[in-house]
Chains A and B, each alone.
Chain A
Amino acid sequence: MNPFALAYREQQQLFLFDKTYLLGTLLKVGGLSTLLARFIVQFFWNPTIALVITLALLALSSYLTWAFVRKTSKDWKTIPLCLIPSVFIWASLSDIGLHFDFLTSILLVQTGLLIFKNIKSGKLMWGVILTIILYLTTGSAAVLFAVCAAIKERSWKSLCYPAVVALCGIAAYLSAAVPTWADAFTPSFYYNLDASLPGMHWAGWICLPIIILIGELAGQTNLNRWFIFISGIVFFAVSCFPARKITNKFERQQPILTYKLEYYTNREDWDGLIKACKKAPWLPRTANYLNMALAWKGELADHLLDYDQRGPDALVMTIKDRAVDDAQAHIMMTMGNVAAAQDVAFNLLFSLQGYCPAMVKINALVELMRGSYEVADKYLSLLKKAPHYRKWAMKYRGFLFNDDAVEADPLLGNGRRNLTAEDAFIMYTNPMTELFPILDANPKDERTLEYGLCYLLLAKDLNSVKHFITDYYSSPDSPALPRIAQEAMVFYSEYSRNMEGVESFGLDWCYDHGVTPETVKRFEDYQKAAVAGPVSLKRFRGTYWYYLVHTEI
Chain B
Amino acid sequence: MKKSRIVNCILGVVFLSLQLSCAGITKNASQLDEDAPIFPDYKEVTIPANIAPLNFSFLGEENCALLVGDKVIRSRGGLFRFGKRQWRKLLTNCSEGFLNLTVFVKRDNGWCSYKPFKITVSQDKIDPWFSYRLIPPGYQGWQDMGIYQRDLESYSQKAIMTNNLTGGNCLNCHTYHNGDPSKMVFHARASFGGTIVVDGDAIEKLNTKTDSTISALVYPYWHPSGDFVAFSVNKTLQAFYNHDPNRIEVYDMASDVVVYNVKTHEIAWSPLTKAEDRFETFPTFSPDGKWLYFCSAEAVEPMPDKHREVRYGLYRIHFNAEDMSFGDSLECVYDAPAEGFSVSFPRVSPDGRFLCVTRHGYGNFSIWHKDADLWLIDLTDGSLKPMDDVNSNDVDSFHTWSSNGKWMVFSSRRDDGLYTKPYFTHIDSNGNAAKPFLLPQKNPLAYYKRLMKSYNLPAFTTGKVKIGKRDLTDVIRKSSGTDVLVK
A residues in contact (CB < 8 Å) with B: 18, 20, 173-176, 179-180, 193-194, 324, 339-340, 342-343, 346-352, 355, 370, 372, 374-375, 377-378, 381-382, 419-428, 434, 437
Contact = CB atoms under 8 A, between A and B. Distances in A.
A370 B168 contact: no
B144 to A, nearest CB: 6
Given A179-B165, A423-B242, A423-B243, A18 B418 contact: no
Nearest to A427: B240
The 10 A-B pairs of least Cβ separation, nearest first, read: A194-B167, A374-B416, A176-B469, A343-B240, A425-B239, A347-B140, A419-B243, A176-B470, A346-B138, A347-B141
Interface in B288-313: 304
A492 to B, nearest CB: 32
8 contacts: A175-B470, A176-B470, A193-B143, A352-B143, A377-B449, A381-B449, A423-B242, A424-B242
Interface string B448-472: 0110100000000000000011100
Contacts of B242: 339, 419, 421-426, 434, 437
Interface in B234-249: 239-244, 249
Contact of B470 (A173, A375, A434): A173
A419 B419 CA distance: 21
B154 interface: no
Contact of B141 (A174, A350, A375): A350
Contact of B241 (A175, A347, A349, A425): A425
Nearest to B307: A425
Contacts of B138: 346-347, 349
Given A176-B165, A194-B191, A382 B452 contact: yes
A174 B143 contact: no
Given A174-B470, A372-B418, A378-B416, A179 B166 contact: yes
Given A423-B243, A425-B239, A427-B240, A378 B452 contact: yes
B415 interface: yes
| Candidate in B137, B143, B415, B449 with the most chain A CB atoms within 10 angstroms | B143
B449 A347 contact: no
B155 interface: no
Contact of A423 (B164, B167, B244): B244
B304 A425 contact: yes
B416 A375 contact: yes
A339 B167 contact: no
B418 A179 contact: no
A30 to B, nearest CB: 12
B361 interface: no
Contacts of A193: 143, 164, 167-168
Contact of A18 (B139, B143, B417, B450): B450
Listed residue (A347, A434, A437) with the most chain B CB atoms within 10 angstroms of its CB: A347
Contacts of B118: none
B166 to A, nearest CB: 7
A339 B247 CA distance: 9
Contact of B452 (A349, A352, A370): A349
B473 interface: yes
Contacts of B265: none
Contact of B243 (A194, A349, A370, A434): A370
A176 B140 contact: no
Q: Which of the four size classes fits the interface of chain B? A: 35 or more
B450 A20 contact: yes
A381 B450 contact: yes
A324 B140 contact: yes
B136 interface: yes
Contacts of A174: 470
A289 B144 CA distance: 29
Q: Which of A176, A355, A419 has most chain B Cβ within 10 Å?
A: A176
Interface string B148-180: 000000000000000011111000000000000
Contact of A194 (B168, B244, B415, B468): B168
B141 A348 contact: yes
Contacts of B106: none
A26 to B, nearest CB: 16
B477 interface: yes
Contacts of A374: 415-417
A437 B164 CA distance: 41
Contact of B417 (A175, A350, A351, A372): A372
Nearest to A419: B243
A179 B419 CA distance: 29
B141 A176 contact: no
B241 A426 contact: yes
Contacts of A173: 470
Nearest to A354: B144
B240 A339 contact: yes
Nearest to B453: A350
A346 B244 CA distance: 16
Contacts of A424: 241-242
Contacts of B469: 175-176
Nearest to B140: A347
A375 B239 contact: no
B201 to A, nearest CB: 15
Contacts of B417: 372, 374-375
A175 B249 CA distance: 39
A425 B249 contact: yes
A223 B415 CA distance: 73
Of A20, A194, A340, A355, most buried by chain B (CB within 10 Å of CB) is: A194
Contacts of B166: 179, 194
A20 B449 CA distance: 12
Contacts of B449: 377-378, 381
A350 B418 contact: no
Given A339-B241, A347-B141, A421-B242, A375 B168 contact: no
Residue in B164, B240, B241 with the greatest tally of chain A CB atoms within 10 Å? B240
Contacts of A425: 239-242, 249, 304
A346 B468 CA distance: 32
A422 B243 CA distance: 8
Contact of B419 (A375, A427, A437): A375
Given A175-B470, A378-B452, A351 B416 contact: no
**Max chain A Cβ within 10 angstroms of own Cβ: one of B243, B418, B473:** B243
Contacts of B143: 193, 350-352
A375 B418 contact: yes
Contact of B139 (A347, A382, A422, A426): A347
Contacts of B416: 372, 374-375, 378
A332 to B, nearest CB: 11
Given A375-B418, A426-B241, 8 more contacts: A179-B164, A179-B473, A346-B141, A352-B143, A421-B243, A423-B244, A425-B242, A427-B240
Contact of A349 (B141, B164, B239, B450): B141
A200 to B, nearest CB: 22
B264 to A, nearest CB: 32
Interface string B404-428: 0000000000011111000000000
Nearest to B169: A194
A428 B239 CA distance: 8
Nearest to A381: B449
A20 B477 CA distance: 30
A350 B144 contact: yes
Nearest to B192: A194
Contacts of A377: 449
Contacts of B450: 18, 20, 381-382
A437 B477 CA distance: 47
Contacts of B419: 375, 378
Nearest to A348: B141
Contacts of A194: 166-168, 191
Nearest to A355: B452
A47 to B, nearest CB: 25
A488 to B, nearest CB: 29
Interface string B373-402: 000000000000000000000000000000
B244 to A, nearest CB: 5
Contacts of B137: 346
